[in-house]
Amino acid sequence: MGNPIAAMLVIGDEILSGRTRDANMHHLAGELGSAGIDLNEVRIVADDRAAIIQAARSLSAAFDHLFTSGGIGPTHDDITADCIAEAFGAPIDVRDDARAILEAHYEAQKTTLNDARLRMARIPDGATLIDNPISAAPGFTLGNVHVLAGVPSVFQAMVASVLPTLTGGQPISSSSLRIERAEGEIAGPLAEIAEQYDQLSFGSYPFHQNGIYGTNIVVRGSDSSAVKMAILVLQEAFLDATA
Amino acid sequence: MGNPIAAMLVIGDEILSGRTRDANMHHLAGELGSAGIDLNEVRIVADDRAAIIQAARSLSAAFDHLFTSGGIGPTHDDITADCIAEAFGAPIDVRDDARAILEAHYEAQKTTLNDARLRMARIPDGATLIDNPISAAPGFTLGNVHVLAGVPSVFQAMVASVLPTLTGGQPISSSSLRIERAEGEIAGPLAEIAEQYDQLSFGSYPFHQNGIYGTNIVVRGSDSSAVKMAILVLQEAFLDATA
């Protein structure tokens, strides 16, 4: 009985062009880990209908949950909601519940709910709204697809809104050990230890710092006492004894 | 005649777990843009054979080039070279040319080329080696798949080694305009301008800074004079006249 598995789909011309670095992936990865949901794949595609629709279908089918990020604002390049509707054959139009949220928000701000902003009330039939306490325009969940904003503060607020509604598994424990020896020196014994603890994952990440070639070993798994035990075994194997 | 299109496959448990942020994607995106190769998709998968093989096949078939990052070191979790060989039906074993590079490197360092390190000389038949001036162990190109290291300094050096061997197109020009008006205010006229310049891409990125709701518009395309003209038209439309 493993944890639920998830994928993320980032709709992001600005990341593919090298203009910005993604921040949402890093945030979601951490939050899902705490919730006991394993993030197993991320895809980043351009603001392109065919690419979004194909990726959404394929990831929704392959994973328990799919989280999308980006493309639900008021401008011409915000096409995610319509693509998700098309991907799953759901009709989409301005929905009364979403429109009411936007009306109240812009009225309070003494701003006009114009046609562009009203596009943010386009929600597929059958979707559940995801609360956006930052800028009102909601995200939505359709089937196992959670459609979230791209602006990091709004993305994070929406993750906080939707995660408690999902059933997670065991939170993943993680612990790491810094070893001041090169990867190639420790690889043999490390592989043997990793084989003994086959319910855990052992990542090996070389570093080169201040003239030292070293390795960070990261042990992860849902059994936190096994993680602790494996770290002790690694210490025993690779660190010099200290008093 | 568009530019060649590329995808990137990041083999990265450590990114999916939220432990580290990817840096290689950002670097490759910028370098490919300068070389006139469009990065159209990125996938991040776990250190999992089936996931790597499936993604490599699918991205290699769909794009002109596929760049992979990570998983070619000496430890048990370094499985990328074997997966790429399997994905494309190429036999793989320790290759003499790669072994000679490692032997020279470790001899100069007065370090042993042990079994773990020798794994880094496993190169598929028919692949061309990619030079690694940082830590010797080579990457390789098999068909349209370029297999690079995950450590950022080595990844960058390998990108510098392999990019000049590829035929690029027109470098992408990019220019941006900061508008201190909310996305919802400018969305209508922006869409009209974007339609007029349909050979360019117009990205719209809202920001909220020091109490100002504003929008960064990024215009991209291979025709740099069209990009400049579009920025002038946007300025005309959205910025107050200044003397």
Domains within chain A, CATH numbers bracketed: 5-165 (3.40.980.10), 173-238 (3.30.70.600)
The pLDDT score that the predictor gives to residue A213 is: 86
The pLDDT score that the predictor gives to residue B228 is: 96
The pLDDT score that the predictor gives to residue B212 is: 87
Strand A5-11 and strand B5-11: the pairing is: unpaired
The pLDDT score that the predictor gives to residue A18 is: 87
Q: What is the pLDDT of residues B19-49, one digit of tens each?
A: 888 889 999 999 999 999 999 999 999 999 9
Average pLDDT score over residue span B4-33: 92
Judged on CB neighbours under 10 Å (0-12, 13-18, 19+), A50 is: exposed
Q: Count how many pairs of residues, chain A against chain B, have C-beta atoms within 8 Å.
A: 198
The pLDDT score that the predictor gives to residue A211 is: 84
Q: What is the pLDDT of residues A118-153, one digit of tens each?
A: 999 999 999 999 999 999 999 999 999 999 999 999
Alpha helices in A91-182 (DSSP H): 96-108, 115-118, 152-162
Average pLDDT score over residue span A44-72: 97
* Mean pLDDT, chain A, integer: 93
Cβ separation A201–B13 shorter than 8 A? yes
pLDDT exceeds cutoff 80 at A111: yes
Cβ separation A18–B41 shorter than 8 A? no
pLDDT exceeds cutoff 60 at B14: yes
The pLDDT score that the predictor gives to residue A6 is: 98
pLDDT exceeds cutoff 60 at A64: yes
Shortest CA gap B97–chain A (Å):
19
Amino acid present at A187: A
The pLDDT score that the predictor gives to residue B12 is: 84
Cβ separation B183–A19 shorter than 8 A? no
Contacts of B2 in chain A (CB under 8 A): none
pLDDT band at B1; cut points 50, 70, 90: low
More confident call, B19 vs B55: B55
Query: Contact at 8 Å (CB) between A179 and A217?
Result: yes
Dihedral pair phi/psi, residue B104, rounded to 5°: -65, -40
The pLDDT score that the predictor gives to residue A170 is: 83
Exposure pattern of B195-230 as b/e (b: 16+ CB <10 Å)? eebeebbbbbbbeeeeeebbbbbbbbbbeeeebeeb
The pLDDT score that the predictor gives to residue B57 is: 98
Cβ separation B42–A174 shorter than 8 A? no
Q: What is the pLDDT of residues B177-216, one digit of tens each?
A: 999 999 999 999 999 999 999 999 999 998 888 888 899 9
Contacts of B13 in chain A (CB under 8 A): 201, 203, 220
Which residue of B3, B17, B40 to mutate against A (max A Cβ within 10 Å)?
Answer: B17
Shortest CA gap B127–chain A (Å):
24
pLDDT band at A1; cut points 50, 70, 90: low
Q: Look up the ipTM and state it.
A: 0.91
Helix (H) or strand (E) holding A45: strand A38-45
Average pLDDT score over residue span B61-74: 97
pLDDT exceeds cutoff 60 at B5: yes
Shortest CA gap B241–chain A (Å):
24
Query: Contact at 8 Å (CB) between B172 and B33?
Result: yes
Alpha helices in chain B (DSSP H): 13-16, 24-35, 49-62, 80-87, 96-108, 115-118, 152-162, 183-196, 224-238
pLDDT exceeds cutoff 90 at B171: no
Residue of A nearest to B9 (CA): A43
The pLDDT score that the predictor gives to residue B10 is: 97
Amino acid present at A74: P
The pLDDT score that the predictor gives to residue A243 is: 38
Check CB contact of A212 with chain B, cutoff 8 Å. Answer: no
Q: Which of A12-16, B111-115, B223-227 has the lowest mean pLDDT?
A: A12-16
More confident call, A166 vs A172: A166
